[in-house]
Amino acid sequence: MLKIVTIIGARPQFVKAAALSRAFDKCEKVNEILVHTGQHYHDNLSKIFFSQLDLATPKYNLQVGSASQGYQTSQMLSKIEDLLIAEQPDCVLVYGDTNSTLAGALAAVKLHIPIVHVEAGLRSYNNSQPEEVNRILTDRISDLLFVPSQASADNLLKESIESHKIHIVGDIMYDVVKLFENQCETSSILADLNLPAKSYLVATIHRAENTASDNLINIFEAFNSLSTEQNIVIPLHPRTHRRLVECSFNINPAIKIIEPLGFFDMMKLVKNSKLVITDSGGLQKEAFYHKVPCITLREVTEWKELIESGWNVLLNPNAMSDIATFINRMENITPEWNNPYGEGKTADLIAAKILNTYHL
């Protein structure tokens, strides 16, 4: 049996792990040990995903919680190192670009344990984003790098990562969307919120560059203005809520502010919206997979294929006065839909390659 320690800590990682853990279970040759760092600890950003997606209870919950970048990462690193020494796994698997990702990879490399990075090779080329730094450092020290597209592979090759480490497998989030499609349809979220399909916009804001700056006020002032003409639903991230309270910002009562949603409710809400406005990397893709146009409130995105597809457009948060024009533009386009991120078999491809690498 191959012993894999999988490090997860944030909502997108719980979702991706649901697909890959199933693939490991099917092959019956993997003993996977889940470690939850506690980076996302709010029940609606953590606990509900384990129950809905039938994800095994983590053997370890490090309960690190919210803190500064340096303190949070250091606490994770120390605690992960201790458990890796105790478990002695064959490899450590990390997802994406969070502090949990970097801490898991650093702990493993210091102990000479091979690292598997799922969703490797993405680049925004904006080092002011913590996620970009996490990606670059994790990719540099990983032994198996599973990338979603040729462009991601090319990014790694440009950085002199050896080609034999790089494997194009598609995007595991597409696996998840397909895997839970029927369950998402059972959600009653539209009825609960009294929302007819295609009558509303979904907006989410949570990234540090938007919540820890004047961007947040620019964004929510624009949302207040939009709400006189558009139905807007905002599942409000705890960090964003705290910042708005600190700023004493008053949100227009016409905007539907709701708690963060579980996976099924969120997918039903996105699928039936007419447009998504977000700064999330994951939600850009989820909108695309449901054929919903998206406006991304960032200067750059690591998911460049979505921009090229015409289904996603970037809007600088400093230019929120243009949001109505962008909405009108995106609501009136019907670009061709071609998925550049595989066929929804990414988890099986990853599991097979890991087993092949370790001769199982």
Structural domains in the chain, sorted by start = 2-171+342-357 (3.40.50.2000), 182-331 (3.40.50.2000)
Taking the C-alpha atoms of residue 315 and residue 79, their distance in angstroms, rounded to an integer, is 39
Residue 44 has pLDDT above 60, yes or no: no
Strand partners of residue 93: 6, 116
Closest to 338 measured CA to CA, from 300, 289, 297: 289
The percent of residues in the chain predicted with pLDDT above 90, rounded, is 85
The reported pLDDT for the residue numbered 43 is 52
Q: What is the pLDDT of residues 195-241, one digit of tens each?
A: 999 999 999 999 888 997 789 999 999 999 999 999 999 999 988 99
Longest dimension (CA), the chain: 61
| pTM recorded for the entire structure | 0.93
Residue 261 has pLDDT above 80, yes or no: yes
Residue 331 has pLDDT above 80, yes or no: yes
Q: HSE (CB half, 13 Å, CA atoms) of 242? A: 8
45-52 contact pairs (CB < 8 A, 24+): 45/10, 45/11, 45/237, 45/238, 45/260, 46/11, 46/14, 48/262, 48/263, 49/11, 49/14, 49/15, 49/18, 49/262, 49/263, 50/14, 52/183, 52/262, 52/263, 52/264
Residue 189 has pLDDT above 60, yes or no: yes
More confident residue, 325 or 47: 325
Catalytic residue among 36, 117, 206, 237: 206
206 is catalytic: yes
Confidence category of residue 42, pLDDT binned at 50, 70, 90: low
